[in-house]
Amino acid sequence: MSSPAPISDQSVPQANAAKLPPEHLRRIIGTPPGPVVKFVTRFVFAFITWLSPASRDAIARFVGNLAYTLGIRRRVVLDNLAHALPEKTDAERRDIARGAYINMSRVVLESLPSGDRLPADWAEQGIEGTEAWEALKARVASGKGALIVTAHFGNWELLGDMVVRRGVPIDALVRPLKGALNTRIAENRLRLPAGLIYPRGAIQELAEAVERGESPFMLLDQALPAKAAVFVPFFGRLASTTPAMAVTAQRTGAPVFVVMGVRNGKLGARLRMEVEGPILPPAPGECEDPITEHTARVTAALERCIRKYPHQWMWLHRRWKVQPPSAADAKR
């Protein structure tokens, strides 16, 4: 990939010029908070919004270090790392684990504020993989959407904000969620503006989004029940993964791009974009299962980025908890 290249402010569209998604994609499905929780969290969110980026970062580091020290899901994290990165020393894996807790805390505190959540110089952080990005933009300029794949990495919420501001309308593939925090994040997604596509009827909605010129925005690193998933290699083990991306690509011919928001080590939510693609599906007759193969190719691109910056991925997730059905189960 090419070295990071800054994009001038003149070439970056303003957020309020973004295309609105269809009305039926501008709804939040899930369990909202109760009245008491809603009242209390309104003040909490206002306080987080009031804080300076430096203060948010300091709190995130404190909370992340505290969660790691208290051992919250630490066994899951270290087990994931032992299987995924056996070449690392125990000390290196513990350092990565601590970084993952801090990154998760930063994601929450950076994603909850109202108003402009990105720093003034967000567009100056650059893009690595400019040829891939220009190919994605060319696809959008043609009037059709691309398929954008990312992971729970860096800050995926603010990455969506950056993509929209750079002139690519998106619709996020999401699950119905519970609670005040998840409701707030969904509200902020709608403010980008981004559409929300839920699992029921998702393939049809994704295909229609592509035809409208909107780009589905999908996180491809979550475990799914075995019956709804394909199993592809991820850090040396098979991981259950949604086939929605590959099925939509097959139906629409839309190109697939992996786009990651990588923290660059500077204070605050300063992310550069790393872009790879288009990641092509297998040619006709190349393999027996093109959906699984295409999913595997895209997942491999996610793994390449996570290996470069392991502190920034969500190792707290039980990514490999769902195992492929045995041959005996498959015959039933």
- Mapping DSSP to helix (H, G, I), strand (E, B) and coil, where does residue 138 land? helix
Residue among 332, 314, 318 at smallest CA distance from 67: 314
β-pairing verdict for 237-241 and 195-197: unpaired
Mean of the pLDDT values across residues 76-96? 98
Average pLDDT over residues 74-95: 98
* DSSP secondary structure of 147-175: EEEE-SBS-HHHHHHHHHHTT--EEEE--
Band of residue 325 on the pLDDT scale cut at 50, 70, 90: confident
For the chain, domain boundaries: 13-324
Burial 227-246 (b: 16+ CB within 10 A, else e): eebbbbebbeebbbbbbbbb
The pLDDT tens digits for 196-217 are 999 999 999 999 999 999 999 9
Question: What's residue 329's pLDDT?
Answer: 58
* Interatomic CA distance for residues 238 and 319, integer angstroms: 10
pLDDT digits (tens, 9 = 90+) for 106-149: 999 999 999 999 999 999 999 999 999 999 999 999 999 999 99
Task: Tell me the torsion sign for CA atoms 309, 99, 41, 14.
Answer: negative
pTM > 0.95: yes or no: no
Quickly state the pLDDT bin for 4 (edges 50, 70, 90).
Answer: low
Q: pLDDT at residue 75 above 70?
A: yes
pLDDT over threshold 80, residue 62: yes
Rounded mean pLDDT, 23-46: 94
- Cα–Cα distance between 154 and 292 in angstroms, integer? 26
pLDDT > 60? residue 307: yes
Q: Which helix (H) or strand (E) holds 206?
A: helix 202-212
In angstroms, rounded to a whole number, what is the distance separating the alpha carbons of residues 127 and 4?
Answer: 5
pLDDT of residue 326: 74
Kindly report the number of other CB atoms within 10 A of residue 273's CB atom: 24
Secondary structure class of 233 (helix, strand, coil): strand
H or E element, residue 262: strand 256-263
